[in-house]
């Protein structure tokens, strides 16, 4: 029996992860706050630990947790950072 | 090429048809591994065999649709070829596969020379001549789909739909080309309304029509479904957030204008309940577009902790005839004789009974205070829309008093206010935590967050309010229904 599929059946290539760095020293780490409650507290702790490992950090926030990050946010992370840690919170 | 016993052709997950004879021409003997996605042992086998190199003569036959088979391969890291065998599982049945996983070692003529049923590390190590290691060494398999999902009378078409996952859990109408064509009514099947979050499948009119058919829509309802999808895809509606949130959020469709009568949409007795095909199937069609085309499958990308029954379908018409207020679409800038769909994101409705109030002030307070506990009793103020469905008897009381919507909204907004100190219990926003004790805090950030529509039967004083999707930054969207093709 032939049917019309309600699904977009195109197969999309999975996006490969960026290569993992061997060490954190000297790396620039973006700390992405999605603006959910207490996410900043989590990132504060992560930031201290990253500094102990010799990493540099910078903070960046999404406009709202309920929507995907804007292209500007993604671009800034890509331009300035080697790594990203996202605080999902709650 | 040698004639191959029990030759078959199945689609691979990248879309190309692949035959057994072609596979055997590339190398033999060959191991055919039968699996399906609901079988933990199948997943175990795929994960353990994922480490085999490119040279391994191994092909997986998944008793699944191509998209489920592709997902299965991705989840398990299995990189050897995967073929998809949807119902009625003729290949599995022809090879008498009763259990998954089953590995069949097939020689150059297509004859089965060895069979491994379930997971057996030793047997697989012998088949491929490699050490696989790991635990468990053995694990029993599951019943194959081909064995248990076809009855003596052949495959049931409705079961087939559910096997494909083309459902919200209830039986659906199979979207045959004839039904989809009738639903399209001459519209361009390839025309896209845009990518549907969260997985961004393209909402071509053909796919939207397939969802309308699955939902049980008559072709005449299709323009309403299209308008609802257009509304859902407006960025301000935030379909992405609503789809993936842990909140019980879903779209609520309100239809206004002549379409209500033309299509038999219920705005009267039981307007939020069951029993009316147009209401039930139009609401359901939008849900299926979001779930199937958009990929918001409950438990997968739809992360709702509980969800609510209205996520199956939630569509009603405004009872414009029982209201002395301008109807919702006129309030939102459309002509009175236009037919529109307004989409509001909300959670489950709460019934509000009030048979005793005799003044508009009392009734406004009842309605507003009923909503005071929504989202969370101490989470004030809320910055998203509360949609109140006012029953005709309640609406009549406001009409007799000459209260327009603005006055009612203002009264409801002013009714629900408490000093900050009283709200500092449980879940309280930072604003209230930091406020002076006596600072008055309202339930809503503004009166405009209170939306009012009239619906329901002429008898009974039961209104309702749909809870807001707090923090979701979603706004109601209204689209005019386009009847012409």
Contact status of B75 with chain A (Cβ, < 8 Å): no
Specify the residue for token string 């959670």.
Answer: B347
Q: What's the complex ipTM?
A: 0.86
Contacts of A7 in chain B (CB under 8 A): 67, 166, 201, 207, 292-293
pLDDT value for B3:
65
Backbone angles phi, psi at A88, to 5 degrees: -80, -25
* Closest listed residue to residue B315, CA positions, set B190, B203, B204, B225: B225
Distance from C-alpha of B479 to C-alpha of B283, rounded to nearest angstrom: 15
Distance from C-alpha of A38 to C-alpha of A44, rounded to nearest angstrom: 10
When scoring B154, B168, B201, B303 by the number of chain A Cβ atoms within 10 A, the one with the most, hence best to mutate, is B201
Residue A62 covered by a domain = yes
Same-domain pairing of B425 and B356: yes
Residue B432 covered by a domain = yes
Residue B195 covered by a domain = yes
Angle (CA) B109-B111-B113 rounded to 5° is 125
When scoring A2, A4, A90 by the number of chain B Cβ atoms within 10 A, the one with the most, hence best to mutate, is A4
Distance from C-alpha of B158 to C-alpha of B174, rounded to nearest angstrom: 7
Same-domain pairing of B199 and B307: yes
Lookup: tokens for B274: 């069951």
Contacts of B472 in chain A (CB under 8 A): 66
Residue A1 covered by a domain = no
Contact status of B8 with chain A (Cβ, < 8 Å): no
Residue B476 covered by a domain = no
Kindly report the pTM of this predicted structure: 0.75
Residue A3 covered by a domain = no
Nearest CB neighbour to B66, from listed A2, A6, A9:
A9
Select from B297, B316, B335 the last residue of a domain: B316
Residue B334 covered by a domain = no
Distance from C-alpha of B365 to C-alpha of B171, rounded to nearest angstrom: 43
Residue A17 covered by a domain = no
Nearest CB neighbour to A3, from listed B176, B201, B292:
B176
Same-domain pairing of B173 and B291: yes
Contact status of B372 with chain A (Cβ, < 8 Å): no
pLDDT value for B149:
59
- The tens place of each residue's pLDDT in chain A, 90 residues long, gives 789 999 998 877 888 888 888 999 999 999 999 988 889 999 999 999 999 999 999 999 998 999 999 999 999 999 999 999 998 866
Specify the residue for token string 């519209």.
Answer: B187
Nearest CB neighbour to A11, from listed B14, B180, B200:
B14
Same-domain pairing of B251 and B382: no
Beta bridge partners, B386, equal B450
| Total count of domains within chain A | 1
Same-domain pairing of B137 and B254: no
pLDDT value for A90:
66
Contacts of A17 in chain B (CB under 8 A): none
Same-domain pairing of B171 and B312: yes
State the residue range of the domain holding A51: 28-87
Residue of B nearest to A2 (CA): B176
Residue A19 covered by a domain = no
* Closest listed residue to residue B363, CA positions, set B323, B326, B408: B408
Residue A10 covered by a domain = no
pLDDT value for B227:
98
Residue B319 · residue B455 · CB < 8 Å: yes
Same-domain pairing of B268 and B379: no
Same-domain pairing of B207 and B276: yes
Residue of A nearest to B200 (CA): A8
Contact status of B84 with chain A (Cβ, < 8 Å): no
pLDDT value for B1:
46
**CA–CA min distance B183, chain A (Å):** 12
Residue A49 covered by a domain = yes
Same-domain pairing of B144 and B173: no
Select from B316, B332, B361 the last residue of a domain: B316
State the residue range of the domain holding B461: 348-468
Same-domain pairing of B143 and B174: no
Contact status of B240 with chain A (Cβ, < 8 Å): yes
Residue B481 covered by a domain = no
Distance from C-alpha of B414 to C-alpha of B155, rounded to nearest angstrom: 61
Nearest CB neighbour to A66, from listed B14, B176, B472:
B472
Residue A40 covered by a domain = yes
Same-domain pairing of B455 and B367: yes
Contacts of B474 in chain A (CB under 8 A): 66
- The tens place of each residue's pLDDT in chain B, 485 residues long, gives 456 778 899 999 877 889 998 888 887 789 999 999 888 899 999 999 988 877 778 999 999 988 889 889 988 989 889 999 988 888 998 898 989 999 999 988 888 999 999 999 999 998 888 888 888 898 888 889 877 655 444 568 888 899 889 999 999 999 999 999 999 999 999 999 999 999 999 999 999 999 999 999 999 999 999 999 999 999 999 999 999 999 999 999 999 999 999 999 999 999 999 999 999 999 999 999 999 999 999 999 999 999 999 999 999 999 999 999 999 999 999 999 999 999 999 999 999 999 999 999 999 999 999 999 999 999 999 999 999 999 999 999 999 999 999 999 999 999 999 999 999 998 899 899 999 999 999 999 999 999 999 999 999 999 999 999 988 999 999 999 999 76
| Total count of domains within chain B | 3
Same-domain pairing of B298 and B352: no
Residue B13 covered by a domain = yes
Lookup: tokens for A56: 């540099």
pLDDT value for B65:
86
């Amino acid at each position: 029996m032939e049917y019309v599929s309600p699904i977009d059946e195109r197969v999309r290539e999975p996006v490969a992860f960026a290569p993992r760095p061997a060490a954190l020293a000297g790396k620039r780490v973006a700390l992405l706050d999605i603006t959910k409650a207490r996410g900043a507290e989590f990132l504060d702790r992560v930031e201290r630990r990253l500094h102990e490992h010799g990493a540099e950090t910078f903070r960046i926030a999404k406009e709202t947790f309920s929507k995907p990050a804007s292209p500007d946010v993604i671009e800034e992370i890509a331009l300035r950072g080697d790594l990203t840690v996202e605080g999902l919170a709650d | 090429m040698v004639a191959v016993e029990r030759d078959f052709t199945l689609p691979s997950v990248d879309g190309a048809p692949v035959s057994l004879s072609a596979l055997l021409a590339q190398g033999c003997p060959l191991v055919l591994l039968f699996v399906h996605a609901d079988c933990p042992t199948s997943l175990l086998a795929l994960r353990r065999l994922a480490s085999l190199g490119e040279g391994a003569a191994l092909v997986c036959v998944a008793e699944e649709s191509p998209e489920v088979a592709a997902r299965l391969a991705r989840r398990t890291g299995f990189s050897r070829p995967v073929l998809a065998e949807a119902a009625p599982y003729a290949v599995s049945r022809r090879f008498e596969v009763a259990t998954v996983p089953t590995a069949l070692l097939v020689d150059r003529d297509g004859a089965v020379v060895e069979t491994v049923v379930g997971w057996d590390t030793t047997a697989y190590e012998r088949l491929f001549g490699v050490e696989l290691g790991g635990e468990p060494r053995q694990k029993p398999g599951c019943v194959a789909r081909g064995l248990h999902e076809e009855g003596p009378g052949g495959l049931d078409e409705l079961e087939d739909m559910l096997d494909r996952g083309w459902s919200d859990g209830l039986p659906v109408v199979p979207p045959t080309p004839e039904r989809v064509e009738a639903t399209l009514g001459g519209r361009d099947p390839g025309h896209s309304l845009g990518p549907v979050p969260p997985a961004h499948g393209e909402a071509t009119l053909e796919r939207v029509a397939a969802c309308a058919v699955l939902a049980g829509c008559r072709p005449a309802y299709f323009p309403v479904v299209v308008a609802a999808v257009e509304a859902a895809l407006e960025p301000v509606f935030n379909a992405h957030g609503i789809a993936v949130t842990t909140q019980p959020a879903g779209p609520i469709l309100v239809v206004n204008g002549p379409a209500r009568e033309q299509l038999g949409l219920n705005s009267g007795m039981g307007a939020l309940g069951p029993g009316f095909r147009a209401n039930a199937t139009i609401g359901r069609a939008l849900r299926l577009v979001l779930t199937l085309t958009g990929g918001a499958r409950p438990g997968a990308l739809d992360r709702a902790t509980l969800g609510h029954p209205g996520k199956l379908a939630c569509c009603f018409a405004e009872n414009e005839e029982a209201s002395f207020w301008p109807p919702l679409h006129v309030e939102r800038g459309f002509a009175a004789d236009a037919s529109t769909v307004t989409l509001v994101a909300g959670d489950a409705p709460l019934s509000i009974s009030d048979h005793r109030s005799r003044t508009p002030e009392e009734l406004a307070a009842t309605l507003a205070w009923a909503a005071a506990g929504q989202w969370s009793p101490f989470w004030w103020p809320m910055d998203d829309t509360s949609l109140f469905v006012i029953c005709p008897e309640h609406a009549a009381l406001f009409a007799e008093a000459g209260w327009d919507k603005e006055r009612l909204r203002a009264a409801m907004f002013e009714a629900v206010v408490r000093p900050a100190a009283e709200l500092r219990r449980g879940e309280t926003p930072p604003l209230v935590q930091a406020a002076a004790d006596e600072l008055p805090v309202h339930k809503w950030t503004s009166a405009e967050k209170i939306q009012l529509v009239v619906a329901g039967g002429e008898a009974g004083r039961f209104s309702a309010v749909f809870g807001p999707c707090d923090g979701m930054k979603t706004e109601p969207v209204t689209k005019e229904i386009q009847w012409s093709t």
